[in-house]
Structure 1
């Protein structure tokens, strides 16, 4: 198919180039017209066969077809390039290859290589080799193209491709949502946005082609050679910073845990216990609808108080998880004021509760410390204390349930992960129209299968909580366990069972159910299934006779970023249905020891940063040993409350401070009141 596309491209370009040259058109018209033709043919080729070979074939066909240009053709460009032509060609190809294989993967997408089971030594070794192979093939094509105008065309096209790749990689917004698992979240792009993107592509492509050809004619090839060398130096420097920052996210997960107990959650029947269940990206307002549609939850959640007027310190885990574990001293704003390495402050936040409870003769079981030490999965080596057991849920639990359910868990090789990063880098540097084609036609299937496995893993881990629990401990226990099923609901059906294909519902049905998008419906289902599974675990604790003597907190670190509106009664009354408010709308439910009765609702303002203070009441209060034994109190509830919006990636922050893009201030202690929110100046 690639060969057929190449031949068709040659024939089409030859005919059109001749007609454009013969027509009485100005150069300022002919060049944009030819450029748009090549661009359109590349889009068509990628649509038919989405491979690098088809795209490269179109560019080579365009270079060969330049022979169809009558008269002087590309002579002015050939003269301007002079003896710098081959150097510029090779440098452009090498830089473009490095951009796709090395620079962009390290600086943009490789935010947590440990999470991908892939580390930089492997990435640099393998991808650098592949990049050099591209350079060798390009040099071979140049050597075979003995006609000067073809070599000139190859050089100009390579330079234009590099310029477009740089502009789209680093200067133009990516335009796609964050990834879930190993694929992009399925957020619908509005028609208006698509039209604007098409217009942007046309303007950017024509502008870059016109600017480069004019500059080559005026200044020749030497300045471009120097500029390309300088670009490489700067990109190498940025990548080096990424290599140094790779330790943020490099470790973590069950494979790197020092110890993996078969039953890491432990409870005493004769002493008081504390349990914190951390549910990533669980939007708090969902509780209203869940309690209405599943009234039996009132029995399973007996003794609980739901605090709907909660709020998080940010819209993602990196901003929300640290105050959730460490209190108000670990919001992004407060951490920035400390002027200390963020990794150290992250460890501090995760250490507050283990430090205090272990000193009060509690055994502490921290299971799945996501975010610990500025790592995605959480690195237990940073939490080494007496009486503290930091671990992860054993992978055997997931594998056993997968075998029983007949659910395939596709483990990707390191080479597959490296290929994924190259695919993502190609998408990052492509035009918007090419991005759309890559998303629709690209080789995503292996990564989609793996993402389905992510949903299954989180579901299986949550359902396995009873199997992971030992209820015969002698000492009091603090248990902290996390789960991200509410974050990864895309392969969960409405019966709360994982499946191998994404949930598919018509847009009419989605709107009938009161949702703005499939993304919104998926998260609603994920939240409901998550809470139902937690409720089943609570029923297990009742049967095991450790429920009444256990204080329990169910909490999330933030709300949802994406096309999700909040149609709950409080949001509608306060005018805060829009997603800008939903992003920080965390969940918080608390059960005191001995509490009974149906779920009660408290309208008190209760940010999730109150969790340390809430659980520390069990031991008479806590202190922060890193701040001169400062008492963990509720000072942060005083007006105003600050929510900082920072990049979600660990290595996108400064070493000693979060990159705060904007800050929202809440005054009046009512997160449902739109009048109380304002952006800081």
Structure 2
């Protein structure tokens, strides 16, 4: 219950404080000034509430003064129950209730949740640790400006209290002693409570008190609002000058901030326009409490459901398994509930608090604004939702460059919002508010229906993963012990699939780490290798099953389901080797049964094949052994925060979305931490491979080891790339996480190869290291050849008894050749056990058809065929752009070479 209340009431304010800090820190580049900016921003945001609270307090004082003579007479003349009855009657006759006395504490009630949010955020903000500001040496600790003996004296809390008392003296002049005591007691409380708090938090609260002092001084001068307006205009001029001539950020962002701040000088015109609308065309709506309240609540609830459930449910339902079993949260519905609670706070609770503080005219303004925001949000989310490519498990976009909309797209979205605004104005002017309420009711019902529909695949995906985890738990050992039992005197074949391994980075990684040349003794690197797709779904099947499972050949078998053909490709080699006397072992086979986490139950009909998952199995044990991991941030923390921001992103006009996204930080300060949990799920298994392998096999062995370490680019830390630092690689690969994760992977694979040598099974082992596709890195900026990014996979091969320094072969290859390498020279006339076709007979490389543009998700294809928007043919040399040619689908399937 407490967590529920915190999420609804405090967490929205916590995020507000966080955004203010991030914005001020980005503008001012100074942590101390950013804290001051947060205080000023929050204070101005609360100013209308303080003003209305002051009016309520003044009303309460006047009533108390008016009733005091009668109350005193009653208390003097009567005692006990009789006094209570007479007082109750007296209050009722004067339309007063004792509970109304709480109005005198409204100002304090407003401050409490904001203070809790600021306290929780600033008292633990890593960005303040070690940062100096003015005379403060460390914003993350008490100031301890001087000592009396061994007792540290913190000057800031004392200064804060003096300012608070001074403000109270000015404010409470002429007020009852009871109010004065309340102010002084609160000042003493904050002195004790904040005395040993971090200086950054005390600076925030001190600035709040300075603002309160300035506010109280303004109340004592004539025409305080006019004085405030001219002061804000002066601040506006200073801000414009700073942003235009001093700040060095992106010009369009500075202009956007200036555009928002322009509201300040235009305030008198805006107020006049609003007054005209309320007095003339909207007068009937102002006086219609019932319709106004109905429109307000319908708008608030609709916006809350849209942001808190519908948009997040779309994301989770697209891949439920990715959002299941995240840290300590098993069900993805936890994140849905959390985002809904946050949305209730943002869209219902706090708007209601504002709504009921003000009179009916301001209520009308709030209702109209909320209705406009809700209607525009609906159009932006569903009509102008945009296609921003793949999204990560922490809700960041893989290709942020797609966030910049075209001019036409932006103009259409803005024009739509303008039409919505004009339409709503006319509906209200024509006294057709009931129509508007009916529209919102229909929309709300539709949103609830969408939520239920999206919840079905989420529930199914969660249950499926639960079953898979139970199966994998049964397959995986409870402790770290060998699962690969290689033979010392018989042949071993290892197919190592390194998801998104980049072959082009090998020369640079090996040059930086020369010891890798010795560890990769006898390997040949086929650099001129192409993948059939830029994603696992299409690039992996040929790697596992050979040329019968290229995307064009899979689509030609249009009577069978895609998932069956995919599973078949994963079974070809293990079954083939098992039939030929080998012990077959597989790990986390890519997209097995089209599940995000490999469903190894596809091998249930082949009990001779050993299934031994190594991903998502050893992470916790690895963390216990490696407690010094740097920069670790749990993904659940990011998901709890980022889901509501993704919703805000979707409901805003496309032209503003890049600003909201803020390079994937969603206006969260750059703490230096990164999300590495998914990376650790894979890296831990890779790091532990030597401990998972021994030489006790009594038969020839075939093993498929799948590892996705390079698939999750993170900063693994120069120079050792083992997560003990967060330093960047110097030179051209600075800031290139793809380089760092590939370096980390190759170092660990090198250790595994050295282990095979140490236990005496290296020479009698054939090893093929291959990836399903490539990926982005700084390599594209420095390579002399045209770098085909996602379509240049890794292909490294070491044959039996092969030795020598790493060789480079520029023969035109595809990653389907990895499957052929496994049995070549071992199994004569190897036949696909499922189709009966000779595997080597299917090899055709004179012209290769690549699925250049296709979705990564099975749900975005038909049941039997891949949907490919763009096909390319490629031959001979993948680094020559002339060898890539866009072809029509008819040409692909007409070719029966």
Please report the TM-score for the alignment, with normalisation by the length of structure 2: 0.60
Query: Which residue of the partner structure matches residue 545 of structure 1?
Result: 760
Q: How does 1:168-317 map to 2 (within 5 A)?
A: 168-172=380-384, 178=390, 182=394, 184=396, 207-219=415-427, 220-221=432-433, 224-225=436-437, 227-228=439-440, 231=443, 242-246=454-458, 247=460, 251=465, 257=472, 258-261=474-477, 262-317=481-536
Partners of 1:651 and 1:74 lie apart in 2 by: 54
Cα gap change, 1:437 to 1:88, in 2 (>3 Å): farther
Partners of 1:436 and 1:411 lie apart in 2 by: 19
User: Whose radius of gyration is greater, 1 or 2?
Assistant: 2
Q: Is the 8 A contact 2:768 2:797 kept in 1?
A: yes
Q: Is the 8 A contact 2:499 2:709 kept in 1?
A: yes
Partners of 2:530 and 2:819 lie apart in 1 by: 15
Cα gap change, 1:524 to 1:138, in 2 (>3 Å): closer
Deviation at 1:353, TM superposition (A): 1.9
Counterpart of 1:371 (choices 568, 581, 591) is: 591
Counterpart of 2:545 (choices 295, 308, 326) is: 326
Q: How does 1:5-20 map to 2 (within 5 A)?
A: 5-8=44-47
Per-residue CA deviation, residues 188-240 of structure 1 (Å, 9 max, x unaligned), is: 86xxx99x669899857753442122112345445555554555566566555
Cα gap change, 1:417 to 1:525, in 2 (>3 Å): closer
Is the aligned partner of 1:137 residue 2:322? no
Q: How does 1:138-537 map to 2 (within 5 A)?
A: 140-141=352-353, 144=356, 147-172=359-384, 178=390, 182=394, 184=396, 207-219=415-427, 220-221=432-433, 224-225=436-437, 227-228=439-440, 231=443, 242-246=454-458, 247=460, 251=465, 257=472, 258-261=474-477, 262-337=481-556, 338=558, 340-384=560-604, 385-393=606-614, 397-407=618-628, 417-430=639-652, 431-432=656-657, 434-437=659-662, 439-440=664-665, 442-443=667-668, 449=673, 451-499=675-723, 502-504=726-728, 513-514=731-732, 518-519=734-735, 521-537=736-752
Query: Which residue of the partner structure matches residue 791 of structure 2?
Result: 584
Q: Is the 8 A contact 2:502 2:742 kept in 1?
A: yes
Cα gap change, 1:135 to 1:4, in 2 (>3 Å): closer
SS of match in other structure, 2:594: coil
SS of match in other structure, 2:275: coil
- Which shifted more, 153-162 or 171-180? 171-180
Partners of 1:563 and 1:170 lie apart in 2 by: 35
SS of match in other structure, 2:496: strand
Partners of 1:336 and 1:75 lie apart in 2 by: 66
Deviation at 1:251, TM superposition (A): 1.7
SS of match in other structure, 2:623: helix
Deviation at 1:66, TM superposition (A): 6.3
Partners of 2:309 and 2:844 lie apart in 1 by: 43
Counterpart of 2:806 (choices 583, 590, 599) is: 599
Larger helix proportion, structure 1 or 2?
2
Residue-pair matches, total: 622
Partners of 2:297 and 2:862 lie apart in 1 by: 35
Counterpart of 2:854 (choices 614, 628, 646) is: 646
Q: Is the 8 A contact 2:871 2:887 kept in 1?
A: yes
Query: Which residue of the partner structure matches residue 104 of structure 1?
Result: 311
SS of match in other structure, 1:641: strand
Cα gap change, 1:223 to 1:40, in 2 (>3 Å): farther
Cα gap change, 1:635 to 1:88, in 2 (>3 Å): farther
Deviation at 1:388, TM superposition (A): 1.5
Larger RCO (alpha carbons 8 Å, 6+ apart) = 1
Query: Which residue of the partner structure matches residue 83 of structure 2?
Result: none
Deviation at 1:449, TM superposition (A): 5.0
Cα gap change, 1:202 to 1:583, in 2 (>3 Å): closer
Deviation at 1:41, TM superposition (A): 10
Q: Is the 8 A contact 1:187 1:562 kept in 2?
A: no
Partners of 1:144 and 1:228 lie apart in 2 by: 22
**Structure 2: 5+ residue stretches without partners:** 1-38, 52-214, 216-224, 231-252, 889-897
Deviation at 1:160, TM superposition (A): 3.0
Cα gap change, 1:316 to 1:248, in 2 (>3 Å): farther
Per-residue CA deviation, residues 435-475 of structure 1 (Å, 9 max, x unaligned), is: 145944645889x8572344445443322211010211112
SS of match in other structure, 1:393: coil
Deviation at 1:153, TM superposition (A): 2.7
Partners of 2:832 and 2:585 lie apart in 1 by: 20
- Which shifted more, 406-415 or 454-463? 406-415
Counterpart of 1:76 (choices 281, 284, 288) is: 281
SS of match in other structure, 1:285: helix
Deviation at 1:301, TM superposition (A): 2.1
Partners of 1:260 and 1:492 lie apart in 2 by: 27
Deviation at 1:383, TM superposition (A): 2.8
Cα gap change, 1:555 to 1:411, in 2 (>3 Å): same
Cα gap change, 1:241 to 1:441, in 2 (>3 Å): closer
Partners of 2:710 and 2:767 lie apart in 1 by: 19
Q: Is the 8 A contact 1:78 1:148 kept in 2?
A: no
Deviation at 1:584, TM superposition (A): 0.9
**Structure 1: 5+ residue stretches without partners:** 20-35, 45-57
Cα gap change, 1:674 to 1:224, in 2 (>3 Å): farther
Q: CA RMSD in A?
A: 4.4
Cα gap change, 1:632 to 1:115, in 2 (>3 Å): farther
Q: Is the 8 A contact 2:394 2:635 kept in 1?
A: no
Deviation at 1:590, TM superposition (A): 1.3
Please report the TM-score for the alignment, with normalisation by the length of structure 1: 0.77
Q: Is the 8 A contact 1:180 1:451 kept in 2?
A: no
Partners of 1:76 and 1:372 lie apart in 2 by: 63
Q: Is the 8 A contact 2:531 2:850 kept in 1?
A: no
SS of match in other structure, 1:373: helix
Cα gap change, 1:600 to 1:376, in 2 (>3 Å): same
Cα gap change, 1:260 to 1:5, in 2 (>3 Å): farther
Deviation at 1:177, TM superposition (A): 7.4
- Which shifted more, 592-601 or 287-296? 287-296
Deviation at 1:536, TM superposition (A): 2.2
Cα gap change, 1:381 to 1:41, in 2 (>3 Å): farther
Deviation at 1:275, TM superposition (A): 0.6
Q: Is the 8 A contact 1:109 1:421 kept in 2?
A: no
Partners of 1:248 and 1:336 lie apart in 2 by: 26
Cα gap change, 1:439 to 1:668, in 2 (>3 Å): closer
Q: Is the 8 A contact 1:266 1:365 kept in 2?
A: no
